Chain A
Amino acid sequence: MSEDAEVKIDVRGLTMAYDDFIVMHDVDFKVQQGDIFIIMGGSGCGKSTLLRHLVGLMAPKVGEIYYGKTKFDVTDVRLRNVILRRFGVLFQGGALWSSMTLAENVALPLELYTELSATEIDEIVRYKLALVGLAGAGTRYPAELSGGMRKRAGLARAMALDPDILFFDEPSAGLDPVSSRRLDELILELSASLKTTVVVVTHELASIFAIGNNGIFLDAESRTCVAQGSPEWMLNYCEHPNVQQFLSRGKQV
């Protein structure tokens, strides 16, 4: 992580709140191009909420979020759509559009934002579904799939437009160990070959250490970010007891 690598996301003094309830305050971090950035923290500490801020679904109470040099202003619809078009988002529950088949789910962003012909789109859709291990399931509706399959289909949709930045909310929750390994490999591959920046919320220690090269730890007690750096660095050098407890599965205190 050299200092002059291009900064993709720059969060400054972010305070997140639902009405009066402050979830996190004074969160500062930078994500560089090609990073696999892990957002860690205990259940309910506000990871999904942070992700909702990053993708513009919620506006910061205090603080700013910059993408490159542009400030992300949620109220500016046009700017927002320009920025959003370079994102891919995987929601915690998959959030597939239930009235469309898997193939249509993946195809919709392509239909809207590219000039590709129907056959070209079809080819891309097949490829993306195959990447997540769902080849041949394109004609199924989301309701006909298992939770893990929906998650993977959501991943295929998030990758449809080959986005600059991918946001994953607990991608491996609900996946078996083999699929979650494959997912880790896929994420590493995307970041290595396509230079995609990936922001991942996850609890899986195995994948945290396997893929993450940068990250932050959100602490539920102090309601702020208490550590920033790669997961290995945090494990070896960060003294904060909660970080140590999290990264060593609560064994040492």
Chain B
Amino acid sequence: MNQESEKLGWKRTDGTIVVSVCGTWNVRDGRPEVEGNLQRLLAEGGVVKKVILKDAGIGAWDSALPVFLREVIRFCETRGIEYDLSGLPLGVARLLQLAVLAPKVVLPPIVPHTFLEKVGLLTLFVTCRFHGALAFMGEVSVAFLRVFTGRGVFRGRDFLVLIEDCGARALPIVGLISFLVGLIMAFVGAVQLSMFGADIYVANLVGIAMVREMGAMMCAMVMAGRTGAAFAAQIGSMKVTEEIDALRTAGISPMEFLVLPRMVALSLMMPILCVFADLIGILGGMVVSLAMLDVTVVQYVHQTAEAIDVLSFMLGIIKSSVFGIIIAGSGCLRGMQCGDSSSAVGDAATSAVVTSITLIIVADAIFAVTFNVLKI
């Protein structure tokens, strides 16, 4: 308050208010009170026609002064009071002029929505997303047919890079996760089964669980987080930088060029990863059994071989391939639906993971019911 009184003098004489401005003006010093002071002077009664601003020894000034003046001007304009800035340094007047004269940008108006509108918009958004997903599936099928019949664009080099990325490069993490999952299952099983002296059945437990469920499932989880998100981010950022537009104007379908290779690569690599995960998981189970229980390697392997049949093994493989299509599909779909900003790329990646994990669980449930009905 002290500072303010140094900088500003408010005086009223009949129909005019004189504001004398002096001292140094620095944005860091905070903002002087405008409305209150002017209101107070107005309230003294009578008509005020004019506000005059006077230079009473202004020192150094920065944006604080123009900001203050704009407030005064706004106050005067809303009440139809004249104002006179001619007594101020020329520089201030020029800056104010520039701010007034700069052309306004035309932007789409942002209207706040009522609750009902929000519900409506959300519904439209959801249906639009659903339509988008259907259209995407259609376009992928068309692209697949075109490439399959040799009319589409398919770059072998890109495809091999994708194969490497979805396959070989994923081995370490898939291996680690499935080893640990095998280990955990065997551990839990060993504690329970040894109470009944059924130690050796740990091999059945781990073997069947890995082969029918956990191998495919763990691969899918790892790949959804690793590769599905990467697909969404890659395609999404290509959208942001107009690379997708550049493909379109070059007459190249992004479906054939970007989406299809990713879907094919992942659905080819997933079964292989799944076999790998099965083996490593069983290995993990064996390590625990050897350490905790009274079984030998030969016994364990033999017991595992007895427990697993080709059919269960194939079921896991088929599932993993379907999961691969789901993961690559959701990744690419979310990438193609990505907005135009870098934060939209992050959203696309998140959304890809959420979508694929949800769909994987749903698909797995459908598989479980189907296999049960078919008694396999």
- B108 and A95 within 8 A (CB): no
- B252 and A95 within 8 A (CB): no
Give CA–CA (A89, B153) in the complex, Å.
20
A118: shortest Cβ distance to chain B, in Å? 12
Interface members, chain A 54-101 (any B CB < 8 Å): 55-57, 80-81, 84-85, 87, 89, 91-93, 95-99
- Known contacts: A95-B241, A97-B243, A98-B243. The answer to whether A109 contacts B250 by CB under 8 A is yes
Interface size on A, residues (CB 8 A): 33
Interface members, chain A 4-30 (any B CB < 8 Å): 18-21
Judged by a CB distance under 8 angstroms, whether B197 is at the interface is no
A-B contact count (CB 8 A): 63
- B103 and A95 within 8 A (CB): no
B342: shortest Cβ distance to chain A, in Å? 13
Partner of B103, one of A19, A91, A108, A220: A220
- B251 and A84 within 8 A (CB): yes
Judged by a CB distance under 8 angstroms, whether A136 is at the interface is no
Q: Scan B235-265; emit 1 where CB is below 8 A from any A CB, else 0.
A: 0011001110111111110000000000000
Partner of A57, one of B103, B153, B248, B252: B248
B245 cross-chain contacts in A, Cβ below 8 A: 52, 57, 91, 95
Residue in A closest to B247 when the chains form the complex, CB atoms: A97
A41: shortest Cβ distance to chain B, in Å? 12
Interface members, chain B 205-244 (any A CB < 8 Å): 234, 237-238, 241-243
Partner of B243, one of A19, A44, A96, A220: A96
- B243 and A113 within 8 A (CB): no
B133: shortest Cβ distance to chain A, in Å? 20
Partner of A97, one of B106, B107, B246: B246
A113 cross-chain contacts in B, Cβ below 8 A: 251
- B249 and A98 within 8 A (CB): no
Give CA–CA (A108, B252) in the complex, Å.
10
Give CA–CA (A103, B23) in the complex, Å.
63
- Known contacts: A20-B108, A44-B105. The answer to whether A84 contacts B243 by CB under 8 A is no
Judged by a CB distance under 8 angstroms, whether A42 is at the interface is yes
Interface members, chain A 206-250 (any B CB < 8 Å): 220, 223
Give CA–CA (A19, B102) in the complex, Å.
28
Give CA–CA (A26, B250) in the complex, Å.
28
Judged by a CB distance under 8 angstroms, whether A178 is at the interface is no
- Known contacts: A56-B249, A84-B251, A89-B249. The answer to whether A98 contacts B105 by CB under 8 A is no
Interface members, chain B 30-82 (any A CB < 8 Å): none
Partner of A112, one of B105, B237, B252: B252
Give CA–CA (A222, B295) in the complex, Å.
86
A56 cross-chain contacts in B, Cβ below 8 A: 248-249
Residue in A closest to B242 when the chains form the complex, CB atoms: A95
Could you pull out 8 A-B pairs where Cβ atoms are within 8 angstroms? A56-B248, A84-B249, A84-B250, A84-B251, A85-B251, A97-B238, A98-B238, A98-B241
A57-B245, A109-B250 known; 4 new pairs, CB 8 Å cut-off, are A19-B108, A44-B105, A85-B251, A87-B249
Chain A residues in the interface with B (C-beta under 8 A): 18-21, 42, 44-45, 52, 55-57, 80-81, 84-85, 87, 89, 91-93, 95-99, 108-109, 112-113, 154, 157, 220, 223
